[in-house]
Every structure is written in structure tokens, then in C-alpha cells.
Structure 1
Amino acid sequence: TVTAISGNDYQATLVLNGTEPSGPLSISLSYTDTMANILDAYLTTTDDSEVVYDQSAPEINIRQISSSNSNSNWAKVDDTVWVNFTANEALIPSSISVPIFNRPGTASTIYNNQGDQTFSYYIITNNSSDPQELIGFQISSFSDYAANPGVVVDGTTDGSSVQFDSEDPYPLVINNVIATGGTVAENYWNSTNTGISIAVTIQSDLTLIEGEFQILTMVNGNNAGALGTYVLSAGDIGIPKTVAGQENFE
């Protein structure tokens, strides 16, 4: 339908019925002037404008979660948890809602990474009452620039996960301390001894993996410094760990 707007200005209107092919809509503007002259058709716009016909819903097939913790698979209070995802086409940033940890999507903050296709949403885990569990998320709403809504998705596509932990670790217990080297006398340190061995009970707490502990010493009630700092591996969990003093002890 062609409508005269004013003077020599006209507007052509087409209501799409769903049979049109997806992609930029083509135009062919042919006309005859008042003197019956038939002029060549125009096939392009003069301002490079175009309308893209899009019937396809956007998809988010790449989703990943991580945290700012030194171990990105865990998060504690005040850590930042990131949900990163990529769509197969540009999305309207304001249309996206990502509830993380069962909090409303408005509690998450968006970071638009590139071309309206790759985004990050994050929250600060400053609520110590959140459950001690894997942090879940859902991309509950999103739309492309043609306003086609996407289907709700949740979970990661790469197997990544973040466990929230707001509890302090159990206290470690020193079971035994033995002087080593030279003449060993139980419960005593003498001038011939060259080292010290400490047996520490490690609790069955998976959050201790890649954690560390430090052993401090006192002599005659005075602080004598640290014997060393020790890193825990998965094999140390739930069993006594024997470590040697890393610093001189005299």
C-alpha cells in the first residue's frame, strides 16, 4: 500500500504474513511521473537503511560459571560469581534476566563483552545465609533485536560449577611433634637434633583442598616464629598429615 504523505513524499507499507524469507527485505521502487514517463526502479535506499526479517528465536548454547576465588570452582562470602554466555545472534541487553543463586535477575549485574552476543552476569556472594551448595543460575528471559524471545536455559555447557562455602574450616589438631636427626629423646629437643616432624589431623572437609595451614611455635611462652606453611591436596583430606619443619628451629 502506497500513501501520499505530503507534497512529493510517499510511504509504502507492507504487512508481513510469515511467508517471506528471512534476511534483509528487498525493495523495488518503480513509478510513473505525471507526464506518464516510466522511470527505472530503485533497488536500494539512499541512506543505507534496511529492515531484517527475523523469524528465528535466539539461542544460548555456550554457558559457563566461575568465581573470583583463588579456586574458581568455589566461592566464599564477598567473592564475585560470574555467569558467562554467548548467543548465536545479537541480543537486546535490557531483555536479559539471569537469576543466580535463586536471587531475582535484578540482583545480577550485566557486563556486555562483545557485539551484544557475549555477556557476563555477576553477583557478590555477600549473603552468608545462602545455602552451602552448588550455585545455580537460569537465563530466564532474553530477546533478539527483532523481539523474538528465547527459550529459558539453565546450567553450564562446559561442566563448570561453583560451590558456595560460608563456613570457617574446622580447627586442625596437632597430634604429635617429634624431634628428628641426631639423638632423639621423646618430648625433648637437644643440640644434636636437626629437624622436627609434626603430625596434623586434617578433617574430612573438601573445602580444604588447595587450602593451606601454618604452624607457629613458642619457646618458654615466647613466639618463636613459624615452622612453615603447608598446602593441602586432595590426598590429605581426612587423614593425618605429617610435615617437616621448613625453617630452622633452635
Structure 2
Amino acid sequence: MLDSQELVDREGRYGSKTVIINTNDGSKVTLDKTIPTLVEVELTTNNKNSNYASVGDELVLKASASEGIVNKKILINGKLVNHTDLTAKQFYASYVFNNSDNDGIVNFEISFSDSSGNKGKVVTSSTNGNKIIFDKKPPSDFITGPVLSGGGNIVQNCWNSTNTHLTVNTPIEKSDTTLINGELEVWARIGANNWERISRPIKIVSDDLGKEKSISIREIIIESINGFKEGGHIDIKSIIRDISGNYTNGTPSENKIIIDQTFPIISRMTIESSNGYPSKAMVGDEIVIQFQADEKIQKATFTIYGKETVAENKEGFIWTVSHIMENSDPEGEIKFSHTPIIDIYGNPAIPTRTKNNDAIIDTTLVFENGNKFSGKWRYGNINGFGHYSWDGIGTYKGNWLDGKKSGQGTMLWDDGSRYEGGWALDEFDGEGTYYYNNGDVYIGEWKNGKKYGKGIFTWKSGNIYEGNWVDGKRSGSGVLTMKNGEKWAIRVLSTPD
């Protein structure tokens, strides 16, 4: 019903033309001719490089409108996605990429309208021009290139006591531009141990395409690889990631690096003459210098009165140098010198080197109490790889840190017991195996010199316990396997001290 008092006469008090000013039930109609717009549209991904995406990455689309939006339809790569309203004017949608998506620029489409039904112009681009590139193709397969030891005495496929770094070469495909701003990592493994990363991620730049990219790995990193020990073999591989995060594990390098840091010991170096009196010589007599090494060595050159002669290996580890005395040779005690005697792995018999202005001495020390050390001495203490023998106790071969056994090493006691595995502050630590001199064996975890964690104890009798250990004692649940094959699930309440 219309309120008659609200009728206004335009031609007279009761004229035929009137305007309705309001209704008595409060209803009204508003004319809205304004077309809604999206004033801000942003695209981002959870990828490390937010303008790129790979399989499993999430794209988030955020939008703000000029007015309240009622109806929305959002397509990403042609697929309808759900949205969430933050306010009447703001909303977002997300999409997780999968293998069905095509590589290239990600397409999207936003259709929308306001409460009056006015449809906005369909939006297909971000307001800041940002685009997302989807890439699901990993880098091409490749073989990790040559691995070369560096510093000191360089011997192919060897890591010796004088080396300071390894150089790892990795081929970068020339035609794959997605590798630009990608990353390269170097991984290593010794024996059957797990692969571990030994380099930080190295950025790949455009100049690297079509070349071998070289990465240098320092000595301290190499000698910290799990399982590092004398006689071990180091496998090296590279991993390449493109800018979207797709990666390819390279085939390990054909170069397997053998670890040999044992210095050759030269003994029984003698000189004698063919004269009837071996300590005397005259012109025409032959002078013979003879020495013995405890392992295979490289050929050494001796100089006698200015004449150079290469030592010859005629029998076993015995080497010989000969010189015929001439008129021009001066009278007196016969003097000679020689080049450093180096084993086939590059370890010198009496080595000293300097790195970063710190003296690193690879040497042998004999103490007054009969103990003996051969290895790396720096910063005024034992640091690095070395051998230590305690008179009447045993020998240790492995890694040291500030004079304490640390890292991987083997201790052999004079009573026949042996431990192989991890150390920390002179104590068994981490994974290790202890061979008792009575034939028992423990394989498992250690902490502060005691069995701690998971471990397997095998008695000489053939019985086996596999379970938990705390402070060197069996604890909690475990399985006891008898030598006849019977198995018992047990729970250890206490064990005698």
C-alpha cells in the first residue's frame, strides 16, 4: 500500500502525475550499472623459485575486487578449482600441480559477477604481469666427470697424506636453459655406507652450459665422510637440479678414490764399496747404496758427486743405486743425496707441508715411554688421520681431533680385542663393532664408550641377542636366538653388573 500523504502533485494538488518517494514496508530497488573489476591479482608458488613450479608444488591465486563479488569461477590449466572468500572483496584459490599438467606458462581464468549480476571482464593475467612456469621434466641423465685429488703429491685415483682437496667435475648440458639458476651438489659414499652430501648447493649460471663445472671439496670434509679409513674407496656423484627443482642423480664418477695415508718406512739404508775393505774405495771401485722400504714406492733419484742415478728395484722391496768412482771425484767421505722417497700412493717417507700458513706435519714421533705416533700434526696437536701405538696396550689407526680419537677408526689391543667404528672424545660413539678376545662380537650403537641403543651381541657359543642397550647393559625388549635356532622374545628387567 502507498501512503497517500507521500503523493506529490506535479501539475496540481491532485494531478495525474505522481512520484513515489518511499514504500510503507521499507522495500526499495537500487539500480547498479557499475561493472566490477579485479584490482589486484597475484600468483605465487611454494617452490624455492616462486615463479616456477614442478609436480607436487602448490600455486596460490589471490585476488581483490573493486566491490563485493558474489559469483566466481576459477580455472587453472583448464581445471575448475575451489576458492575461499577472505572478505566480500577478497578471495583466493589454490592448485597442486600433477603429471597431467603440461610444461610451460600456467594458464588461468577468473569469471565473476557482483550481487546485481553485473559480469566483470574475464581475467587471464596477473595485475603485476607475474607468470608461473610449470616444468616437470628433470635434467637429462649424465655421468659425473673426473674426480682429481689436489695439493701435495698427486696420484690418480688416490687420496694420500699430502692431499688438501678433491676436485669434482660435472658436465652441464648445453641446450637445457632450465638449468640456469639451478643447483649442483656433490655427494660421496665410502664402501657400503649411505650417500652423504659433501658440498653446499652451487648455483649454475649461463656460462656453465656446455661445460664441465668444477667444485673443490676441502680436506676436512673428505676426511669426515662416514667410513673414512685406510684402504677405503670413495665413490663420488653429482646431483643437478633445474630452476623448478626437478633433479637428476648423476651416475657416479668412474674414478674410485682409494684412501692410503700410510707413510713408507725406509730402513737399512747402507753404502759400501766393492773394494776389499767395504768402507774404503779407490778409483774404479763400485759404490753401492742400498735401502729397503716396507711397501711399494716410486723411483727415487740419487745424486753422487753431481751425477744423478735412478734407484733400481731388483729384489722385493730392496732398492739399489750404484756409482763407479772416477778420478774427478774428490777424496774424503762419499756424500750423496736423494729426492723424497714416496710410495705409489703419494705418501712421502719424511713429509712436511704448509697450508693456509698453518704447519701441517706428516711425521713419526717416538716417545720416551715407548709410544709411537705416525700421522698429521697441526695446531700443536694430533689432528687428522694417524697411527698411534701404546707400548704394552695396543694400536689405533684412524681420525683424530685435538689429540683425541674422533671420527672413524680402529683400535687393536695387545690381548686380541678389536674395535672398528665411530669415536668421540676418545670413546666409542655411534655405529661400531667390538670383537672380544674370547670370540664374542657386538655390532651396534655406542654412546660415551658404552653400548647404547640398538645392538646385536653374538656369543662364541652361537647364541645371539638382538635388542636395546642402555649404559652397556641389555635393557627393555629384545630377541634371543639360541644356537639351535630357537627364538625367544624377552624383556630384560635387570642385568648383573
State the match for 1:112 in structure 2.
85
Query: Considering only aligned residues, what root-mean-square deviation do their CA atoms show, in Å?
Result: 3.1
Length-normalised TM-score, structure 1: 0.70
Residue of structure 1 aligned with 2:76, choices 100, 105, 113:
100
Asked if the contact 2:42/2:61 (under 8 Å) is kept, the reply is yes
State the match for 1:176 in structure 2.
146
The letter for the 2-side match of 1:99 is: L
State the match for 1:53 in structure 2.
31
Report SS of the residue matched to 2:159: coil
Mean CA deviation greater in 183-192 or 154-163: 183-192
Matched, 1:245 2:217: yes
CA gap 1:44/1:244 in 2 versus in 1, 3 angstroms? farther
State the match for 2:97 in structure 1.
125
Paired positions, count: 208
State the match for 1:64 in structure 2.
42
State the match for 2:133 in structure 1.
163
Q: Which runs of structure 2 are paired with 1:177-196 in the superposition (5 Å)? A: 177-196=147-166
* CA distance in structure 2 between the partners assigned to 1:45 and 1:220 by the alignment: 91
Larger radius of gyration: 2
* CA distance in structure 2 between the partners assigned to 1:202 and 1:11 by the alignment: 86
> Structure 1, unaligned stretches of length 5 or more?
5-9, 13-28, 33-42
State the match for 1:76 in structure 2.
54
Asked if the contact 2:77/2:106 (under 8 Å) is kept, the reply is yes
Asked if the contact 2:185/2:199 (under 8 Å) is kept, the reply is yes
Residue of structure 2 aligned with 1:148, choices 104, 112, 118:
118
> Structure 2, unaligned stretches of length 5 or more?
9-20, 224-497
Length-normalised TM-score, structure 2: 0.37
Asked if the contact 2:3/2:23 (under 8 Å) is kept, the reply is no
The letter for the 2-side match of 1:245 is: I
Q: Which has the higher contact order (CA 8 A, sep 6+)?
A: 1
Report SS of the residue matched to 1:145: coil
Q: Which runs of structure 2 are paired with 1:205-224 in the superposition (5 Å)? A: 205-219=176-190
Q: 4+ residue runs of structure 1 moved beyond 6 angstroms?
A: 43-50
Asked if the contact 1:178/1:197 (under 8 Å) is kept, the reply is yes
CA gap 1:87/1:226 in 2 versus in 1, 3 angstroms? closer
* CA distance in structure 2 between the partners assigned to 1:189 and 1:244 by the alignment: 14
| Structure with higher strand content | 2
The letter for the 2-side match of 1:185 is: V
Report SS of the residue matched to 1:228: coil
Matched, 1:234 2:214: no
CA gap 1:76/1:45 in 2 versus in 1, 3 angstroms? farther
CA gap 1:222/1:229 in 2 versus in 1, 3 angstroms? same
